[in-house]
Every structure is written in structure tokens, then in C-alpha cells.
Amino acid sequence: MTFSAGLLLLGYFTLSGAKVVIVPTERPPNQCSFSCTDTERLLCAGNGQCMQQFKGECQISAYNCEHPEKVFIILEDFKCKQTGAPLCQQWELGHN
């Protein structure tokens, strides 16, 4: 069950009782903790500045969650493999 579905369910049970309880809708502090596997195929993604290969959509989502100012979208695979493709450097990804 997702966090938002849990809140919806909790809200239903709360409102169906004798009294109304306000349930906070804030996300937990670890909202960007993803459990991604390394078994997915490599996907090419770009953010308008450079391209990067990620090990599946989960890793792209995790990166985008942690770096909302540098959001990557999935591109066609051949774009990351072209000669002269602007591949991301570590400093561009926010990895020091």
C-alpha cells in the first residue's frame, strides 16, 4: 500500500467514526528512498544538458526525486551511444 493510499484509507476510517481527526498529508522525510534492483536494462535519459545511462526506470525516478532541479527523461537508447553524445560528467550529476 502506498503512503497516499494509506492516508486515504486512514481518512476514510477517521471520517466514518464519531469524531473527525485531522490527518497530516505531509510526506515522510525519506520520500526519496527507493529500493531499485540492478537487474533492469540500461536506459538512456537526458536532462537538456547531458545524457546518462541508468539501470532502469526506478533509478531514474530515484535520481529525479533527489535532484528535482536536474530531471531526466527517458530517451531512445541509441542517443547515448552516438559518437559525440554529450554524456554527463560526475559533477553535472551532483556527485562530488
Read off the pLDDT of residues 79-91 as tens digits, 9 standing for 90 and up.
998 888 899 998 8
Residues 19 and 61 in one domain: no
Residues 79 and 54 in one domain: yes
Q: Where are the beta strands (DSSP E) in 1-96?
A: 43-46, 51-54, 73-74
Do 23 and 36 lie in one domain? The reply is no
Overall number of domains in the chain: 2
* 46 & 84 share domain: yes
Indicate the pTM of the whole model: 0.62
Quickly tell me which residue has 525516478 as its cell.
61
Higher pLDDT among residues 20 and 13, named by residue:
20
Does one domain contain both 22 and 39? no
Quote the domain boundaries for residue 47: 32-93
**H or E element that contains 58:** helix 57-66
